[in-house]
Every structure is written in C-alpha cells, then in structure tokens.
Structure 1
Amino acid sequence: MMTANILKPHWSRFLGPQSPDPKSFKYESHSRAIFSSPYGSFPPTPPDLNIHEFCFPPNNLLPPDYDLFINAVTDERVTLHQFYARVCALARVLRHDGPNPLELRKSPVDDKEDGEIIGLFSRNHIHYPMLAHACFRAELVFGGISPASTPYELWWVLRKMQITSFVCHETLLPILREAMNLGSGEADKGCSLLLVLDPRNIIILSDDPNLDTISGYRTVESFVRYGNNLPEVSRKLLGGDRMAYLFQSSGTSGLPKAMMISHKNGIHSGLQGMITGTQGARFMGVEPLQPQRVLGVVPAYHSYGMILWILRINLMQLTNVMLPKWDIELGLESIQKYKLTLLPLVPPLVRQLAQSPLTEKYDLSSVVGAASGAAYLPPDVAYQLAKKLPQGARAPIPSGYGLSEAASIASPGPPGIFGLEPAPPGTIGYLLPGIEARVVDPNTLKDVPKGQKGELWARGKVVTPGYFKDAKATAEIFTEPGWLRTGDLVMRDEKDRIHYLDRLKEMIKVKGLQVAATEVEDCLLGHPEGLVRDACVAGVDNGRGDGSLFVRAWIVLTDEGQKQGEGPVAKKLDQWVRQRLSRHKWLTGGVETVDSIPRTPSGKMLRREMRDRYQARMKAQVRSNL
C-alpha cells in the first residue's frame, strides 16, 4: 500500500506520489477563488494512524542515540533512547486497560462523549514532551494549559476542557489549589460545564527526579519507575480522526475556549515542516533534514511549541535546548555554548534580540536560520535581527502564520523554489503543504478578487474539528463545511502571496472606513529617526456616540526617542503618519508614551487591554470633574 511509505525511516517518506520537483516545477498563480499550496498535497497516511506511531513506527529500529532535550539551566539531558523508554514506561501506567493505578477511564474520541482528559500545566520542561507522547501511546487525551494562568483562568479552562486528572509542575501547585477552591461552577452563568477534576488524580512534575511524592501527591518520576517494571502489551494504537489533545484558544474574544485537535490534525501539522524542509534542501542541492540544534523557548502548550517539541520527535535529528522561561542572557549563552543552529522565536523575542546590545557579546556564528511565528512580526524588526545573524539583512527573519484552529497555514519559502518570488517581510508567504484557501468578504461571504482585502478562509487536514463541547462557537468558525474562518484580514497578491493586515475584530472603524492597526504601528516603527521601540494602536471612543472611533497610539521610546522627549516625539510621529497614511488613519486619539506594551506569552499584542485602560481613565476623569 502507498500509505506504508509514511512509516519508512527515510526522508523520502515525506514526499507523496504527486509531490512537485522543487527545481523544475513552476507554480502558476491564477485568479480562481480557491488557491492551493505550491508544495502540493500531503503524502498518503493510514486513516487510523496515531501521532506516537507516526513518530516512532513500531517496526523501525531507533536511530543511533543522541541528546534530544537539554535543560539550558542545569545541563540535564534526555537522549532519544531514554525518551522512548520513558514514554513506554509512563504509557503502561496511564493506559485505562492496564494496571491503571490512577483508575483512569477511557478517553473520549470526540466531544459527544465523556471520559478521561488529563491536564498538563507546566512551563517548558525537558519532560513535557515525554508526557505528551505517553498520552498518545496510552490513547489518553490531554489538554495543554498556559502556565501563566491565574487561578480564575485555570478554573475556567479546567471546566471548558472537562479535565478529570492533572499533571502540575511543583511551582504551580498553589495556583491549582486556589483554582480548586473556586468551587464546581454551578453558579457561573458564563459556562454551563462544571469542574470534574478528581483531586486524587493530581500528579506532580518535579525538578528533583528522586522524589516519589510532593505535598502528598505522586510524582511523574514515581510513575515512570513503576512503569519500568510493568510488562509491555503489544497492541495496535488508534488515532486518525480521534481526539488527541485540546488547546487553549481565545477564538475571537473573551475567555479561552477548548480547541479539539485530532491525531490526523497533529500528524499533518508535523508533516508540513518535514515536507518544506525536505523540498527546501532538495532545491538547494543538499541532503534533506540534516541534524540541527534548536533554541527551546516557544511554550510547549502552544500550537507552535507543539509542532517544535512534540510532533517532530524522531522525524529528524533535533537537539532541543529548553529554557524554562525566556531570559535574553540565558538564550544568548545557550546559542554560544551549544552552538545552536535554529532559533524559533515569537515577535517580542525577535525585537528584544534585534535591539539589545547584549547580542554583540556572544558568538552567534552557528545560527543557520531564525524564524518567527504565533503573532505579527513588523518588517523593520525582521531586518534588524537578520543583520546581527550570519544570514544578514538580505535574508530577513521570515514570519509564518497559523492559529490554534489550524497550526500552520502559510510561510515564506526559499526564494526560487517552485519558481516562486521571494515573500518579503509584511507578507506571511505562500500556503503550506496540503492547504487550500480563499479570501472572502466577511459581510457578504462572497470571494473577493485578488488584490482586495478580505477574511482568510482555510481548508486542509490540519484544520480542527471544532471547539470542545461548544457547538455555537464551532458553527461561527465554519460558516461553510470544511472552511475555517480565521478571523484575520488579509490580501492575496498577484503572485498568490498572502499579506497579513489585522484581526478582523481589532479593525478600527473611522467614519465607516476600516483602519488596520498593524499598518499604523508599522508606520510608527518605521520613522527614519528610530524614535519608537514598540508600538500599539487601537480605536478609542470619540465621545460623539456615533460608533466611529479615534485612532490612538501607545509607544515605547528608544534611547533616541527618550533623548528628544515625549512631547517633541509625539509631534514628529503625528506629522509622519499624516505624511504617509490616509486621513482616516491619522492619530486623532493622540500618542501616549508607556514603559511597555502588554502581550501574551506567544507575542500577541493586547490592544484591548490598552484601550480599556485608557477608556477607564477617561471615565474616571469625567466623574472627578462632575
């Protein structure tokens, strides 16, 4: 069968029978409403394939051993062979049909069923990927939860994901206890789902591997040791369209939702990087998927981190140097010490590395490439960091695009592959393997011509089945069956490159005209005197009650900006925007200097928070004047 190729231990398994040749095939752009990836479709896969068996095919020998994960702080290491043995041991403990010391139930295959769902609540940790793969191998659904959650946010997510058992890093146990004290949720009108976490099924992820218990709870290591003494039962693992894990997703607004990801989704999200890496190497005439050493700072609970640290294990040789949390000096020391070759980043880290004088103190010559994801990357920052790396300004940091709902949708490729034009900063590149897309008017739901703005709709095997136990929210993102409404405003150009403009919900309406906040932010960051280090733009109430808004900017000054002073800088920026942008995009709401712009851990700017703070301040001033 053709599907057997996907389990062969060679990079050729990532190329399907219809895969285009990266040198001879020339992608032809067109004007049809539906356009697809220059890389073509996915290679065939078995319909019931499990993520763990995709990464570790049962009849393949493990390759020669190497360091798979390294703790950047302690230098503790986990090799590939150790990882696999630990996964097998823990999976024996977690299986509902095994000895089952935790008395776990069978997990649901979709959100129409109830069953065991285990929460993973930890910062980046060298054993987090082991937990995820043990769950895949045990056919146990897990939910990845942000370690930055407040007790209230955790309580909400525990209910939305219907978490029944829980792995908690030892430092986060106080947060969990506070969340549990908030009650079952019966009185909460915002969510009908109740807290179902069994307090007896809390497991602690400790940094001390010798401990069996902490605060009365068993540790992960104690269960790994227990599993080492259990016999292995040979069985065919199930996957395919069955639910594999849940993500936190904010959707378009409000508190987090629970996003379902199937084994098929996860496998194809992992496949995309393997296909693009293989085809890129073939295009450049080098052996595909050569060993790399990777900076591990993107959070593992996030869709971007899932691809990096969990879905690609054993697909190629990657040594991942994990940082528990971001620290610029530790990051730079790690690059120099471990001679890291790849830097997967998010925009705030790209900006910090680009602007920090610390980068001059470390040897970054090992870096082959850096990339950004998870949020919009301003073009000026893409060039600034590239200048400091061996690739130079001619190869600015590329920015990929994806969502929790579809982990990877578009990314720039090597210029010239499939005859493609370069995708410069400001674009998110071309569609990734197996993706089809449309650009649609969000009001009329009609496809718009190339060159016009519209909402990006995407279709492919990476697209989620929907929100867990939330049919209303699922219906909102699938107006047409199979087509995911991303909620992002884009423009498809004449070459079929995609230009990201803004979140639809964050568009600023000024006298009936739409203003993309990112366009104004890029203008501010691009002032020729380099006055602005960071910028946030949002719409604020114009006070007239007509629904129209003023455009307001919050800025973080550079050293040069601070030298010139807040007042003069605000005037210069206002004049600069008036010279560069249309009248309805002018800063009629003013310019305010702040110390920092709030962002999520993945780098998404919290414009709503800045706007709400400002408007609360204005209301307070009105009251004080009465």
Structure 2
Amino acid sequence: MTAGVLKAHWSRYLHPNAPDPHNYKYKTHSRPVFSSPYGPFPPTPEDLNIHELSFPQNNPLPPDYPLFINALTGEQVTLHQFYYRVCALARVLRFDGPNPLKLGRSPVDDKEDGEIIGLFSRNHIHYPMVAHACFRAELVFGGISPASTPYELWWVLRKMQVTSIMVHESLLPVLNEALRLGTGEGDKNSSLRLVLDPKKIIVLSDDGTKETFDCHPTVESLVRYGFTISERKRKILGGNRMAYLFQSSGTSGLPKAMMTTHNSGLHSGLQGMVTAVQNARFASVEPLTPQRVLGVIPMYHSYGMILWILRVNLMQLTNIMLPKWDLELALRTIEKYRITSLPLVPPLVRQLAQSPLTEKYDLSSVIGAGSGAAYLPPDVAYQLAKKLPQGAQNPIPSGYGLSEAPSIASPAAPGIFGLDPALPGTIGYLLPGMDARVVDPDTLQDVPIGQKGELWARGNVVTPGYFKDPKATAEIFAEPGWLRTGDLVMRDEKDRIHYLDRLKEMIKVKGLQVAATEVEDCLLEHPESLVRDSCVAGVDNSRGDGSLFVRAWVVLTDEGIQQGEETVAKKLDEWVKQRLSKHKWLTGGIEAVDSIPRTPSGKMLRREMRDRYHARMKVENRSRL
C-alpha cells in the first residue's frame, strides 16, 4: 500500500478508498467532530522525506520543462537543472560528507540542539533549490521574513536557534546590524541566546559567477563544489523528524518559531494534489494538466512554501516569479507568459479588482485565481472574478489555514460529493485528511451547529508545536492532537465553515461580542460603493467599565472622495444602523484614511489603527488641560 504513493501517476494522490466525486454524497451529522468530504490522505511511508515525495528514488525524471522563471530578467531553471543542483548542494550541506562549512547534525525535535540554517531572502528562483537541498541533506531550516528589521531578525534568530544562515546579498546589512545586538544576555523576554556562527554565513547572490560576497561563500560556489563530489548511497530520513521552522505571524506579540515535520510538510503538499485530482475527475477532464503560475506569494510564508517548494514535481508547474509585487509588471507577466493560475492574498486581489490597469491587459489565459493567508471580503471576490474568464458567477475562492496548519478548509467545486456551493463569506469545507470541532473558548465544550465558537482542527498538516516553547505549545493544544486556531467560526447545517473573526480581535460592547469583519463587510457593501477598504476595532469608551466603542477607518473610492468625508461618514453610519444590531453601531466614529496597514500576507493590523487612535486622543486630551 505504501509504495503506491510513489507511482508516477495521479492515482498516487488518492487513497484506495477515496470517495468517487460523482457518486459519493457527503452526509452531514450533528456530532461534534466532522471530517473532510474528500476523505483521508493516500498512505505514505512512515519515514518519507519531503524531497523524496517530490523526487522518488529510482524513478526517472519526467521530460524537462521550465520550472522557475524570473519575470524581470528572464533567467530560468528547468526541472532537470533544479534536481541536479539540489543533489549537488545537498552533498555540500550534509553533516557527514566533506562538509566544507563544518555544519553539525540537525535536531530531530525541539528536545535536541543542533544545526539550524536560516533562509533570509526575498523571493528568488534559487530559494526552492536551497530548501530541497536542506530536505535531502536532513538539514533543518527556518524561513525568515525579508522585511525583518535588525531587531526583528535578531529576535527570530534566537527563537529559531539559528546556527548558520543563507542571506540574500541585499539583506546582508540587516544581518550585520542584527549581529551587533549581541547574544541577548539580560533580555527578559526570552532565555534563548543568539547562537549564529558568523563563519557559517552563505550569500545568495544575483551574480551566479561570484565565488564569494563580502568574504562569505555564495550559494552558487557551493553548488559548483557539490558537482565535484560523488554521491553516496544512503537512506534519506524524514517522517516525524523536524524539517523546517516558520516564523509565526506575531499578531499577538513578537513572532514565535513554529515547527514542521517532514510528515506534516509533505501532507500540506499532498492536500492540493488530492483536491486537484478529485476536482478534475468531477469535471471529467485529465487531472494535473500543466499550469503556468504567477509567483508572488513569499517563499518564507506557509502559503508560499506549499506553492513553490512542497509541490515541486508533484505536477507540471512553470512558476513565473516576481522578485516583488508590482501591479503592472504582474499584468504584463500574465499576458506575456499566458499565466493560467493566480495564487493571491487579499490586498493583491483588491488591487487587481479595482485598478483600471487591469482592463489594458489580456487576462484570457487565466483558468483560475484563489486567495489565502487572510480574510477576503466578499465584494472583492466578486469584483476580480468579473475581470477574469471565470466571470462573477464564480467568485474568487479563499482558502483558510494558519502557519500552525497551513491548509484547513477551502471552497469545493459546487456539486462535487453532492456539496452545495460555498460562496464568499464562508471558508468552505474541510480539506483532505482534516477533522474539526467548534468549541466554546471559555468552557472548552463543543457548541451545536449554527452557534459561534473557536475552530479546533486535527490532521497530518498540524504542527507539533512551537520550537523550545512548551508554554506556547500547551496554549494551542488544549487536548492532544487538537489545534486551537484562535479563530471564531460557525459551522452550518451543510458543514460549511463561516469565518467570523480572530478571537482576540472580538470587540466587547456592554457584554456583547462584535465581529469586526462583519462590520467591515457591511461598510464595503454600501450600495453607492463609497469605500475601497475598511478596518474596524474597539476603542476606549473613557468610562472605565471594560466596554468599548466600535470605530471604523475607511479608504474612500473615487465616488466617496467626490461626495466628501462628512457626507460619506453620515451615509455609512445610517447604513450600519439599518443593517446591524445596535451594539454593532459605530459609536466610536468613522475616519477616512489613505490606507489600512497590513502584514505582507494581507492580515489587517487593527491593533495598529487602534493604538494610533488612542495615542492621538491622549495628546488631544492633554492639550485641552
């Protein structure tokens, strides 16, 4: 049974008892634990390595094709080049090989210490090659945001216990500044010290001919050296060994280091293959036909990890990578390369939907677009769909996951397994291999269908926990195996999941809970289209009773600007009062702003808007005295 997962055919992505997408009808029930209509994952060997899922031993490579292309320069890496370069670099990175970098053995879990290499780079066509070389070399790596300040980098290096690092040449000054902050002795926020060895810095240079950069070896010099080393036959280990660390989003403070094993990582890669095969079978088309994908999602992020690293060679994908987001470059790239797939995050969906530039380019090649990493307002999902061949009747679907469990739920093809459509406003049905519950966050008791509660998730994609942080791990696992997502949801009678808000961002008004996203969506749905973006948060009511006022910040459309802020604020206030209960009214006021701050993945920084407002109120109150 386990050998079947390594067959070079799409059937390897189906469990032997996988449901038939036409004949099987998913049945709902009222029990607390509900499961994916797609059924379980296909069986896999217990010790499978992520790299070996992508490139099974003794299997010939498929015919060659361009795997990664730099949209700006045209530089490309083919599948065959990628594989042979991975093998070469892995020979250099192995702790038990020639080992020119003097790397140690990596830990198998967070109870051990050992070699952990940080990957600190913007998107680059050679980043996935480094990641796969680490998998093959059994070298644990940690993905680090290229937007990190020196202080943030210093913190993450300590949380991940990074001992060596690959850094893009443009980010070397940030790394040098971080190293000057010292080991962290005396830091009350963490007992973890900086353990990075400055002699183990590798530079990812855009100039492939360079042997060194600022006295550090380049990635390309190590690849060239790897081609001079003979391959040693060995069993590559994986399974429940730690594979990589993620930098958590840090929405509740400084980031944590989240662990992913080979087992959880490869199942994140398999999940999309299972759904793609079943959707194709349902549509009566050949599964996993070649696709051309627009590459903008960050590679250090869990979403980007699935797209650019975990799916390599699972199907034929040519990934056209943008070094950074540029709207017109993206549109030119879609037209030039006849892009078929657009994986996006909400801010990019909004830009593409609302920019007049979109009308100037040929987007007819796009078969599908999808959004992830953050909440996608329904109005934007419909707006972009209108501009794509799929049309407004097929709004942009939004998947749901966390760094701690990258892919939990997503809308399914209407009709597959007898499922009803999951329209914008829901996050759809559970993905393959997933179980879920909806639980009262205070009592930890399961709530009935139709009631609000915290989503708990279970499945092979779930993290084992936070690296060397047992307290934080205990907080997200109230019961063994069940991940507390921290998100407030509602399960309906069809087992669709409706996202309501982050639990920590719920606004308490006179003892009643207000979901910020509900009010934000209401503002965006004003019939005169006055608002382009909105942010809602609870602000101090100055009474000291623990209750809050609901305040909105809005970015106006051209129509809104023309009508004027005062008129728009009055209309929006009346609209909310017509649509929502009294405790959800905007008693804290409405303010027009130029933009709403968000993380690179699109998560709204409500706390930042709230803190700015409170700071301003404090200054104004002082000036009145």
Question: Do residues 393 (structure 1) and 392 (structure 2) align?
Answer: yes
Matches within 5 A, 1:99-118: 99-118=98-117
Aligned equivalents of 1:81 and 1:376: distance in 2? 37
The match for 1:449 is 448
Question: Do residues 408 (structure 1) and 407 (structure 2) align?
Answer: yes
In the TM superposition, what whole-angstrom CA distance separates every residue of 1:337-361 from its partner, at most 9, and x where no partner exists?
0000000000000000000000010
Aligned equivalents of 1:30 and 1:334: distance in 2? 46
How far off is 1:392 after superposition?
0.1
Question: Do residues 68 (structure 1) and 78 (structure 2) align?
Answer: no
The match for 1:440 is 439
Contact 1:489 1:504 in 2 (8 A): yes
Matches within 5 A, 1:242-321: 242-250=241-249, 253-321=252-320
The match for 2:18 is 19
Contact 1:252 1:487 in 2 (8 A): no
How far off is 1:252 after superposition?
5.7
In the TM superposition, what whole-angstrom CA distance separates every residue of 1:451-475 from its partner, at most 9, and x where no partner exists?
0000000000000000000000000
Aligned equivalents of 2:425 and 2:373: distance in 1? 15
Question: Do residues 357 (structure 1) and 350 (structure 2) align?
Answer: no
The match for 1:227 is 226
Q: Which amino acid aligns with 1:590?
A: G
Aligned equivalents of 2:557 and 2:190: distance in 1? 44
Q: Which amino acid aligns with 2:294?
A: L
**1:90 match: secondary structure:** helix
The match for 1:212 is 211
Q: What root-mean-square deviation, in Å, do the aligned CA atoms of Structure 1 and Structure 2 show?
A: 0.6
In the TM superposition, what whole-angstrom CA distance separates every residue of 1:234-255 from its partner, at most 9, and x where no partner exists?
1110000000000011366100
Over 3 Å off, 4+ runs: none
In the TM superposition, what whole-angstrom CA distance separates every residue of 1:148-175 from its partner, at most 9, and x where no partner exists?
1111100000000000000000111111
Contact 1:346 1:373 in 2 (8 A): yes
The match for 2:483 is 484
Gapped regions of structure 1 (runs ≥ 5): none
Q: Which amino acid aligns with 1:493?
A: D
The match for 2:322 is 323
How far off is 1:204 after superposition?
0.5
**1:428 match: secondary structure:** coil
In the TM superposition, what whole-angstrom CA distance separates every residue of 1:480-511 from its partner, at most 9, and x where no partner exists?
00000000000000100000000000000000
Aligned equivalents of 2:250 and 2:417: distance in 1? 34
How far off is 1:622 after superposition?
1.5
Aligned equivalents of 1:614 and 1:263: distance in 2? 44
The match for 1:424 is 423
Aligned equivalents of 2:257 and 2:59: distance in 1? 35
Contact 1:246 1:258 in 2 (8 A): yes
How far off is 1:18 after superposition?
1.4
Aligned equivalents of 2:241 and 2:618: distance in 1? 50
Aligned equivalents of 2:267 and 2:464: distance in 1? 14
In the TM superposition, what whole-angstrom CA distance separates every residue of 1:522-558 from its partner, at most 9, and x where no partner exists?
0000000000000000000100011100000001000
Aligned equivalents of 1:88 and 1:624: distance in 2? 66
The match for 1:337 is 336
Aligned equivalents of 1:31 and 1:329: distance in 2? 49
In the TM superposition, what whole-angstrom CA distance separates every residue of 1:411-451 from its partner, at most 9, and x where no partner exists?
01110000000000000000000000000000010000000
In the TM superposition, what whole-angstrom CA distance separates every residue of 1:348-385 from its partner, at most 9, and x where no partner exists?
00000000000010000000000000000000000000
Q: Which amino acid aligns with 1:495?
A: K
Aligned equivalents of 1:510 and 1:462: distance in 2? 36
**2:310 match: secondary structure:** coil
How far off is 1:625 after superposition?
2.2
Matches within 5 A, 1:498-577: 498-577=497-576
Q: How many residue pairs end up in the alignment? A: 625
The match for 1:90 is 89
**1:467 match: secondary structure:** coil
State the identity %. 80
Aligned equivalents of 2:231 and 2:55: distance in 1? 16
Aligned equivalents of 2:224 and 2:425: distance in 1? 50
The match for 1:125 is 124
Aligned equivalents of 2:274 and 2:159: distance in 1? 34
Q: Which amino acid aligns with 2:398?
A: S
The match for 1:183 is 182
Question: Do residues 172 (structure 1) and 171 (structure 2) align?
Answer: yes
Aligned equivalents of 1:549 and 1:188: distance in 2? 34
State TM-score, norm by structure 2: 1.00
Contact 1:252 1:505 in 2 (8 A): no
Q: Which amino acid aligns with 1:213?
A: T
Aligned equivalents of 2:89 and 2:18: distance in 1? 38
Aligned equivalents of 2:209 and 2:300: distance in 1? 25
Aligned equivalents of 1:414 and 1:226: distance in 2? 48
